[in-house]
Amino acid sequence: MARLHPWGLVFAAIFFTIGLTPSLLLRDWFYQGVVSGLAAGCGYGVGVAVHWLVVRLARWRPIVIPQRRRTVIDAVVATVVVLWMIITTVLSISWQGDLAELTGVDIQPTMLILAITPVGVVIALLVIGLGRGLSRGAEWIGRLFPDSAHHRLRMGVSWVAVFMVVVWAVETAIPGTIVAAGEKIFEPRNAHPEQGRVQPAQPERSGSPDSVVEWEDVGAYGSRFLNEGAGAAELEEVTGEPAVEPIRLYAGLATAPTDGARAEVIIDELERTNAVEREAILLIMTTGTGWVNPATAQAFELLYGGDTAIISEQYSAVPSAYHFLAGGDVVQTAGRDFITPIVDWWNTLDEDSRPKLYLYGESLGSTGVESAFSGMRDIVNSVDGILLAGPPNFNPLWSVFTERRDPGTREVLPEYSGGIVVRFANRNEDILRHLDDGDEWGPTRMLYVQHPSDPVTWWSPELILREPDWLIEEAGFDRLPAMRWAPIVTFLQLSADLPVSQNVPDGHGHNYGNSMVPGFAAVAEPGRFDRADIERVQSQMEQARALGG
């Protein structure tokens, strides 16, 4: 590689150390090295660009610096940068300990932190090489112009062309390729029931001999959902109260060709199992692979003593991360096409005797739920309640509710339209407070549960150049006060937080299992559950899940 630019190296060192500052979650040495390396590579580009601007400006106002003074300045700058790197590296060890204590995870050995630098250097050199490749590309495009064209015009058009190609690659080509590759890898793995899963015998479950859904068509995660969960006998053992055999219905990718067709299959299953006689129906939008969180399903069934029907479908076999990169278009279409027919069917039932209808979405599933509605009024006219956990930042309704929050409320815990329909919670204490405030919460309730330390909720491309309100606000209970926004770097940090978002205990990051019982109780019919019910069911969850497999 050609000689590195000194201005670029100075900015690369600064950006590298900024990458060591804390973000939302504790990262291991490899991810931290990648973050700091990417930051250093971007910093190098910034340094080269700044030098270019300074040189151009100096042509209009020449500045002459004697060689001796220039040598002194270079030495001072180098000393300051080195001291800055040492101090930040030492502080990063302290920040790692603070983050570990905050989120309840084990800190990595200090010696491993030394591996951050070599990883970062390799990544930085790769980024610098990529940048030089783009520069060579712009020069090549510029040479295609006739010699009569002005140099600035040629280079301006060339760099615009390179920029457009990069944007196309980042927004379309790369995500599309990743999703296509994911489909080839994961669809065969999810095509059939998991090994060791057996066809359910209970008529209340899809895939049983009485069901219109073939067992071989429910897929890997469908078979897991249909095989697990405490039955009536187990629920009675846990609660000491009479229970009903819960209904669990699921349509896999092979069950029907489209989301709308799978919705019609589920409607047939609801009628077959006489689900209209149950107290409550819960529609769950799955994650990208078709996975249903077992804690979610068990919490709902335990709250209602099994007098429930839980319905879901598989709209994809690709993990949520792939769709997350692609912007969630697939799940938005699935949400509209699957939820709308079921809501329409439910609205044909007698309003005085029909079961309550609730919707749940976690992570990408929340995107699907939101996509079925145009706004708050549509929600009020359509369902009884919605619980959404860990919503991605690009969710259509979440973005509106957050941006148009009531004045004086925080982005991390907003209030929308006085909380008459939509409410937000950061932890279970917030949920219980909403439950106690039932008289002020309307009969249709929508609740978002979002941890301040969940990168899925707070990651956004806008972090590259804009400081978000949630980082300006007081840190609160689930974020280090030492976390600060930095252009480019904060975006890279949260991007690296995404893969480790579930490597933390419940109540932090992207883990919401212990919020399911209070969450479903809060969005239920006003007065249906109280704090005592929540405490009782929370204490029974572990045993119920153990008995339910």
Alpha-carbon distance of 455 to 198, in angstroms, equals 37
pLDDT of amino acid 452: 97
Give the pLDDT band of residue 59 (cuts 50, 70, 90).
low
* E strand or H helix that includes residue 107: none
Distance (Å, whole) CA 262 – CA 247: 17
Half-sphere exposure of 211 (CA within 13 A, CB side): 28
Which 8-state DSSP code applies to residue 215? G
264, two tokens: 């019609």
- pLDDT: which is higher, 243 or 180: 243
pLDDT interval class at 414 (50, 70, 90): very high
The more confident residue out of 121 and 282 is 282
Q: How much is the pLDDT for 89? A: 76
Q: Give the DSSP letter string of 334-382.
A: HHHHHHHHHHHHHHTS-TTTSPEEEEEEETHHHHHHHHT-SSHHHHHTT
| Phi and psi, residue 466, nearest 5° | -130, 135
Task: Read off the pLDDT of residues 43-54 as tens digits, 9 standing for 90 and up.
Answer: 999 999 898 888
74: pLDDT strictly greater than 70: no
The model's pTM is: 0.90
What pLDDT was estimated at residue 479?
A: 94
The pLDDT of residue 397 is above 90? yes
* Token pair for 112: 């491993």
Side chain identity at 137, as an amino acid letter?
A: G
Q: How distant is the alpha carbon of residue 301 from its chain centre? A: 26
* Percent of residues in the chain assigned helix, strand, coil, to nearest 5: 55, 5, 35
Q: Give the mean pLDDT of 339-349.
A: 97
Evaluated on CA atoms 255, 259, 262, 266, the torsion sign reads positive
Burial of 45 (0-12, 13-18, 19+ CB in 10 A): buried
Whether the pLDDT of residue 77 is over 80: the answer is no
pLDDT value, residue 267: 98
Tell whether the model's pLDDT for residue 265 goes beyond 70. yes
Phi, psi of 227 (to 5 degrees): -85, -25
Q: Which residue has the tokens 């090549």?
A: 140
CB distance 518 to 526 below 8 Å: no
Residue 464: name the closest of 119, 177, 137, 38 by CA.
38
pLDDT at 323 over 90: no
Q: Which helix (H) or strand (E) holds 43?
A: helix 29-58
The alpha carbon torsion through 428, 430, 432, 438 (nearest 10 deg) reads -150
Alpha carbons 4 and 128: distance in angstroms, whole number:
9
Q: What pLDDT sits at residue 308?
A: 99
- Lowest model confidence (mean pLDDT) among 16-25, 56-65, 200-209: 56-65
Q: What is Dmax (Cα atoms) for the chain?
A: 91
Least confident of 164-168, 217-221, 542-546: 164-168
DSSP codes joined into one string, 237-299: HHHSS---PPEEEEE-TTT-SSHHHHHHHHHHHHHHTTGGGSSEEEEEE--TT----HHHHHH
Return d(Cα 502, Cα 507) in angstroms, integer: 10
Cα end-to-end distance, the chain, whole Å: 57
- Kindly tell me if the per-residue pLDDT of 510 is higher than 80: yes
Q: Is the pLDDT of residue 225 over 80?
A: yes
More confidently predicted of 279 and 160 = 279
| Residue 246 reports pLDDT greater than 80 | yes
| Token digits of residue 502 | 């579930």
Tens digits of residue pLDDT in 283-292: 999 998 899 9
Q: How confident is the model at residue 434 (pLDDT cuts 50, 70, 90)?
A: very high
pLDDT band at 327 (very low <50, low <70, confident <90, very high): low
Are 515 and 431 contacting, i.e. CB atoms less than 8 angstroms apart? Answer: yes
Average pLDDT, the chain: 90
pLDDT band at 34, cuts 50/70/90?
very high
Confidence of residue 396 (pLDDT cuts 50, 70, 90): very high
* pLDDT value of position 439: 78
Is 140 a residue whose pLDDT tops 80?
yes
Percent of the chain scoring above 90 in pLDDT:
65
Distance between CA atoms of 189 and 181, rounded to whole angstroms? 13
